[in-house]
Amino acid sequence: MTTLREALLEVGAWCTTYPPGGPSPLDYFFVSLAGVIVLYAGYKAVHHTLRPGESNRDHIKWQILEGEDRR
């Protein structure tokens, strides 16, 4: 029976090992692609928060802001 310390050391060693030869170019591609997607999503979130672009007077927000009662 292994102790908790030995088990944690074994798991830690397993988590830090790389495949033979290190990360492949495909790994770098997928990580880069994920980074670009995250940056784009962050940009779009900030952009649509600061400038929602809902200037049309028929948009639902104007009905809410003008206080039309629909009862």
pLDDT tens-place values along the chain, 71 residues long: 678 888 777 777 666 666 677 788 899 999 999 999 999 999 999 998 888 777 777 877 777 777 756 55
Number of domains in the chain: 1
- Can you give the pLDDT at residue 26? 92
- Can you give the pLDDT at residue 2? 72
In a domain, 14, yes or no: no
Cα–Cα distance, 25 to 41 (Å, whole number): 24
Cα–Cα distance, 17 to 23 (Å, whole number): 11
In a domain, 1, yes or no: no
In a domain, 34, yes or no: yes
In a domain, 16, yes or no: no
In a domain, 58, yes or no: yes
Cα–Cα distance, 29 to 68 (Å, whole number): 52
- Can you give the pLDDT at residue 63? 74
Alpha carbon distances (Å) from 17 to 5, 14, 21, 54: 19, 6, 11, 51
